Amino acid sequence: MSNTKVENIKNLRDKTGAGMMDAKSALERAKGDERKAIEILRVKGQIRANKKSQRETKNGLIETYLHSGKIGVIVEVNCETDFVERTDEFKELAHDLAMHIAAASPEYITRAEVPKSEVDKEKKIIKKELALLGKPKEQLDKIIEGKMTKYYREVCLMDQPFVKDPGVTIEKLVNQKIAKLGENIVISRYARFELGETN
């Protein structure tokens, strides 16, 4: 029973935002090891996030961010209920996303939005580079995959490392909030403006 002391459960809840029973259960499964319990909760949260991603999102916020009067962002972030849209946690997420978009300048929200022609073009460039370097054919697929992952990190919002915490991607950040707030959250659209841009 020492593994699930109230103090330990409270500490785990404070760190993860998990519910009382989830925190207690994770600590029991981890035999009191907090790091293992956090990992158990992360996996559970990811599974929940995946289930919730099918649910409709008709509420949410339109958030704006202005940087030094030179860069402006407007982003629409949706959730399921007006209750969640009013929470500080959701408002903070919307603000962080707008700020991230201002700093990282993604071109698309997800990989699925990248036109096939763009993907093909990028792969063609990579293959040409590799041909010049004389890389063995058996290594090509793996190298191309790695370079495409890097490409998606540059152009897709969900793949980008979060500017405030580069150890977490935007997709992971959103999934953490889905697990914590208990609702599906979707970044629907955004626009980024930079002074002097012509298109």
CATH of the domain at 174: 3.30.479.20
* Enclosing domain of residue 150: 115-155
Q: How far is CA 196 from CA 53, 68, 72, 84, 102, in A?
A: 38, 14, 12, 37, 15
Q: Is residue 34 part of a domain?
A: yes
Q: Are residues 162 and 130 in the same domain?
A: no
Q: Are residues 180 and 94 in the same domain?
A: yes
Q: Are residues 101 and 82 in the same domain?
A: yes
Q: Are residues 88 and 175 in the same domain?
A: yes
DSSP class of residue 86 equals T
Q: Are residues 121 and 149 in the same domain?
A: yes
Tell me, what's the pLDDT at 1? 39
Q: Are residues 25 and 91 in the same domain?
A: no
Residue found by looking up tokens 């929470």 in the block: 87
Three-class DSSP category at 198: coil
Could you tell me the two tokens for 146?
């790695």
Q: Among 36-45, 67-76, 158-167, whose mean pLDDT is lowest? A: 36-45
Better pLDDT: 196 or 191: 191
| 172-185: average pLDDT | 91
Tell me, what's the pLDDT at 127? 85
Q: How confident is the model at residue 134 (pLDDT cuts 50, 70, 90)?
A: confident
Measured between alpha carbons, how far is 118 from 145 in angstroms, rounded to an integer?
15
% of the chain beyond a pLDDT of 70:
87
Tell me, what's the pLDDT at 117? 94
Measured between alpha carbons, how far is 92 from 127 in angstroms, rounded to an integer?
42
Asked if pLDDT for residue 47 goes beyond 70, the answer is: no
Q: How confident is the model at residue 2 (pLDDT cuts 50, 70, 90)?
A: very low
Measured between alpha carbons, how far is 25 from 54 in angstroms, rounded to an integer?
26
Q: Are residues 38 and 136 in the same domain?
A: no
Tell me, what's the pLDDT at 54? 57
Radius of gyration of the chain from its Cα atoms, rounded to whole angstroms? 20
Asked if pLDDT for residue 167 goes beyond 60, the answer is: yes
User: Which residue intervals of the chain are DSSP H helices?
Assistant: 6-16, 20-29, 34-52, 82-85, 88-104, 116-133, 137-155, 170-181
Asked if pLDDT for residue 43 goes beyond 90, the answer is: no
Q: Is residue 199 part of a domain?
A: no
Tell me, what's the pLDDT at 64? 96
Q: Is residue 69 part of a domain?
A: yes
Q: Are residues 6 and 24 in the same domain?
A: yes
Q: Is residue 37 part of a domain?
A: yes
Q: What is the CATH number of the domain that holds 41?
A: 1.10.8.10
How many domains, the chain?
3
Measured between alpha carbons, how far is 93 from 112 in angstroms, rounded to an integer?
23
Tell me, what's the pLDDT at 22? 80
Q: Are residues 7 and 105 in the same domain?
A: no
| 145-153: average pLDDT | 94
Q: Are residues 68 and 165 in the same domain?
A: yes
Q: Among 3-12, 53-62, 185-194, whose mean pLDDT is lowest? A: 3-12
Tell me, what's the pLDDT at 91? 97
Q: Among 88-102, 134-148, 181-195, whose mean pLDDT is lowest? A: 134-148
Q: How far is CA 137 from CA 9, 43, 120, 142, 157, in A?
A: 53, 37, 19, 10, 32
